[in-house]
Structure 1
Amino acid sequence: MIREDRFLISRKPFAIDLSTVTAERTHRHDVYWLSGHCLAAWYRRKNGTTYACLGTLRLWAHWLKEEPDVSSPEVILRNDLDSGYGGDPDGRWDGERYWGSQKPSEQSLHLAFLEPMLANYPALPDGYDGWWTFQGAR
């Protein structure tokens, strides 16, 4: 992943809760495999509507010839990771409609996070680091 200082929604950036970044490396068949996940928040736009999203971002890299560094969350994220499908949202808010959990307590927690996130677009949510993208360097 690449950490960018500037937010560009077209680069599909993620804000990462660094305290949740995990990674496990495996060595087999003379190559390394890396898999992990983290909590993330992100904005997306569809048909002119901006959405604030909260969920899990899966992190992986396969067929690495050199052992990946997993010494810190930032270093883990800087590995040549893939997450072609993006984040797995647990909750999404567009200013009118919520999509996500059917449990009222989880809905309340999600909306307490997503409503101010969307209101402060494109600011980073408190406690999150960003902006991280899987897209190549510019």
Structure 2
Amino acid sequence: MIREDRFLISRKPYAIDLNTLRVSTREDTPKGRNPYYVTCRINAVWFRRRRGATVACIGELWDLQYPEPATARQFLDQHNDGRYGGDCHGRWDGTGYWGAENPEVQEQHLAILRPMLAGFPVIPDGYDGWWRF
């Protein structure tokens, strides 16, 4: 991924929480052997246009990588396939929420998404941006 200081919605950028990198190995890897890849996930937020309106999204970026990244920056440097985009877990359009059914998770998402959309295109606190493929 490429980090840019300038926000252009047409480039489909993401703001990344660099403290949330999660790495897991395949459970069926034989003991003592290196896995062929590891699954990496990192939390992200982004803006998109949906039916002519700007929406704020929260979710994660994921990738299968080898070698295992030691840091979030290394993960982002190695993550070069953006064809699937981010996995959206919640979306706010200013009037309605789509996403998690659990009320506590909804509240967590909306605590980030409401001020994010209101401050468009400001990066939320705790996130680093803008990153694009």
TM class by shorter-chain length?
0.7 to 0.9
What residue in structure 2 maps to residue 97 of structure 1?
96
Using the alignment, how far apart are the partners of 2:103 and 2:39 within structure 1? 32
Whether 2:41 is the aligned partner of 1:37: answer yes
What residue in structure 1 maps to residue 56 of structure 2?
52
Higher strand share: 1
Give a deviation string over 1:32-64, Cα, whole Å, max 9, x none. 745411010000012320010001111235xxx
Report deviation, 1:69: 7.3
What residue in structure 2 maps to residue 19 of structure 1?
19
Partner SS, residue 115 of structure 1: helix
Q: Is the 8 A contact 1:15 1:41 kept in 2?
A: yes
Runs of 4+ that moved beyond 4 A = 23-26
Q: TM-score, normalising length from structure 1?
A: 0.79
Percent of aligned positions that are identical: 52
Q: Is the 8 A contact 2:55 2:117 kept in 1?
A: yes
Q: 1:37 to 1:83 in 2, by over 3 A?
A: farther
Root mean square deviation of aligned Cα: 2.1
Matches within 5 A, 1:68-107: 68=67, 70-107=69-106
For structure 2, the 5+ residue unaligned runs are 27-35
Q: Is the 8 A contact 1:58 1:83 kept in 2?
A: no
Q: Which piece of structure 1 moves more, 17-26 or 96-105?
A: 17-26
Using the alignment, how far apart are the partners of 2:83 and 2:55 within structure 1? 19
What residue in structure 2 maps to residue 121 of structure 1?
120
For structure 1, the 5+ residue unaligned runs are 27-31, 62-66
